[in-house]
Amino acid sequence: MTKFKEAYKYGIVAASANIPKIDSLSGDQYSLMEISNGQYLLALSDGMGSGLAAYNESKATIELLEQFIESGFEKEVAIRMINSVLILKSAEETFSTMDMTIIDMHTGIAEFIKMGAATTFIKRKDYVEVVGANSLPVGILSKVDIETQKIQLKDGDMLIMVSDGILDVEEDKFNQESTFVNLIGEVDSNNPKHMADSLLEKSRNLICGEIDDDMTIIVGRIWEKPYKNL
C-alpha cells in the first residue's frame, strides 16, 4: 500500500544552548516541536528568579503549552488557560515569561506571541531584524492582552530567541540589543547549534562570566525545499 506524506514547502531545524545561574536547574525551559497542520513551534519560558522555583514555573508553563497545542487549542486560548492555571496554583506571586513563535511550513510565515519575553532576532542575508513586544508575563493578571506579529521568513533565515538573562545585564554591560545584533553578525554559520553555542559563549565573555540570571538561546533555521512533482 502506498502511503502519502504531506509535503511542506519549508523545513525547520532548531537547536539550543543554556547556562544556569547556579549549578543546578535552569529557570529557562523551552520546546522545539512540529505540531499539527504543518506548523513548527519554538517556545521559551523564563520563570521568576532562578533555581528550583523558577524551574518549576517555567517547566509548568512549557508543559501546559505543549499539552494544549497538541490537543488542538488555538494559541490565544492556550495562553489564557496557562495564565489561569498559574494564577490559581499558588497564593504567592509567581509568573513566567512566554515567548512563542509558530512557523507555517507551507508559507514560511512566522507568528510571534510575546508575554513579558525578551527581543527575538531574525538573521537575514544582509541584516538582522528585531522583533519585540511590551506585554506582561503570564500569571500576573487575571486577564491577559495578547499581541501577535506575523513576518514572512525566507530561505536561509535564522530565528534567534533569547531569555532575559542574555539581554538584561546589570549596569548595561551588554548594551542590550545593539550589542547582540553585532554578535550575531560575527557568527558566520548556518548551523543552528553552532550559532546558539557561539552566541552564548560570546555573551558570557562580555560579562566576564559573571552570570546574573539563567541564560538561554534557541535558534531555528528555515530553508526552502526543492520542488518535486510527485
Per-residue model confidence as pLDDT tens digits over 1-33: 444 456 899 999 999 999 888 766 788 999 999
- Provide the residue ranges of all domains of the chain, joining segments of one domain with +: 10-224
Position 103 pLDDT exceeds 70: yes
CA dihedral of 20, 219, 117, 73, whole degrees rounded to 10: -110
Residue 197 has pLDDT above 90, yes or no: yes
Residue 39's nearest CA partner among 6, 79, 87, 81 is 6
Query: By C-alpha distance, which of 79, 76, 109, 101 is closest to 14?
Result: 101
pLDDT (tens digit per residue) in 31-54: 999 998 899 999 999 887 667 888
H helix or E strand, kind and range, residue 37: none
In whole angstroms, what is the distance from residue 77 CA to residue 75 CA? 5
Q: What pLDDT does residue 45 have?
A: 92
How far apart, in whole angstroms, are the C-alpha atoms of residue 130 and residue 44?
A: 17
The domain over range 10-224 is classified in CATH as 3.40.50.300: no
pTM: 0.87
Q: pLDDT confidence of 229, banded at 50, 70, 90? A: very low
Instruction: Record the cell numbers describing residue 159, joined without a space.
Output: 530565528
Q: Which of 4, 20, 116, 134 is nearest to 61 (CA)?
A: 116
d(C-alpha 212, C-alpha 131), whole Å: 24
Q: What local confidence, expressed as pLDDT, does residue 175 receive?
A: 57
